[in-house]
Amino acid sequence: MRNYFVYYNDNYVKQSDATLPVLSASTQFGLNVFEGIRIYKEDSYFIFRLEDHLKRLNNSLRLIGFDIEVISNLEFLAIIKKLIILNNLKSDFSVRFTYLINEIDSWSSNKRPTFFIAPLIRKRNSADFYKTMILTKTRRISKLAMNPRVKCGANYINGRYALLEAKSKGADLPILKNKDGFISESSGACIFLVKKGVVITPTLDCDILESITRDTVIKIFLKNKYKIEERPVKEEDLNESDEIFICGSAAEITPIKLINKSDFRIGDLTKFIFNEYQLAITNKSYNDYSWTTKIEI
């Protein structure tokens, strides 16, 4: 990974110089909140659903007990412009932006968090790309214990357990049930099924992250008059489905083959949503939703 310039604690420094004390509450206890967002390069740069990512970051801050104002849209854009120039970024990339504690403190820390924005090179998915999945024994964390709506580092340890289990069983990714036995989501993406022409996805109260891409996918299907059901999803639905795909800012639209299914081809509705999503993220369609923010350098 290249040693890019990152925005860290109000300065632009090389990533290798953006360090944390070993005993900070973030290094020890995974105390942070963060977002990941993609920036697509066409004739200009396009950020997808920036306001929604900042809104979710703001909610995460509050839910985890930090009472500070999230960075503004305009400040964020100014930093991204500077990072593009400093790092000479000329193709698609993504950024992680995170509030963390860079002082030695306990997990109950209420010190003012430090903020960083760091670029990562990420190309958009190609149309023939797919991944395999398996249902895991590892269950999704419950809102009664660790609110899955908070996008915090510590919640990802649940994803780690599930991912390690899936990989040990030969699949790329896990599908987790929630504590009640309904399908919840994957370790870093939401799940959709297509069954007899109907698009189905678990409801938000099935212990999923309130995914921005999930919302985009639902809006695109609705706009194009497809039947969509948000409902509790059972294991039988999964096994009886004609198509499966996952979605997320990083995963974009990724077609899924269940590891135990022998016959597989990428389905028509998966192809449809893959193509429409590509148009949406680069502002070639769905302009009335104002999903993209254009950056001119």
Separation in Å, CA 231 to CA 25, 47, 182, 202, 210: 38, 30, 10, 5, 15
Give the binding range for ligand PMP (CB under 6 A) out of 11-19, 126-134, 206-214, 237-245: 206-214
The minimum distance between CB 104 and ligand PMP, in angstroms, equals: 28
DSSP-assigned states of every residue in 109-150: --SPPEEEEEEEE-PPPPTT--EEEEE-SSPPPPTTTS-TTS
How many C-beta atoms surround the C-beta of residue 2 within 10 A? 9
Measured CA to CA, the distance from residue 212 to residue 202 in angstroms comes to: 14
Identity of the residue, 109 or 163, whose beta carbon is nearer to ligand PMP in the bound complex: 163
DSSP state, residue 70: P
Taking the C-alpha atoms of residue 10 and residue 29, their distance in angstroms, rounded to an integer, is 24
185 bridge partner residues: 176
Nearest distance, CB of residue 190 and ligand PMP, angstroms: 5
Residue 209 binds ligand PMP, judged by CB under 6 A: yes
Q: Would you give the binding string for ligand PMP spanning residues 212-251, x where CB under 6 A is met?
A: xxx---------------------------------xx--
**Shortest spacing between CB 22 and ligand PMP, in angstroms:** 26
Residue 141 Cβ vs ligand PMP, minimum distance, rounded to whole Å:
10
CB of 181 to ligand PMP, least distance (A): 19
Q: Which is nearer to ligand PMP, 105 or 185 (CB)?
A: 185
The binder of ligand PMP chosen from 39, 54, 190, 281 (CB under 6 A):
190
| Nearest CA among 81, 53, 92, 48 for reference residue 292 | 48
φ/ψ of residue 119, rounded to 5: -80, 150
Does residue 136 touch ligand PMP according to CB under 6 A?
Answer: no
| 84 or 212: CB nearest ligand PMP | 212
- Closer CB to ligand PMP, residue 56 or residue 257? 56
Q: Does 83 bind ligand PMP (CB under 6 A)?
A: no
Give residues in contact with ligand PMP (CB under 6 A): 185, 188-190, 209, 211-214, 248-249
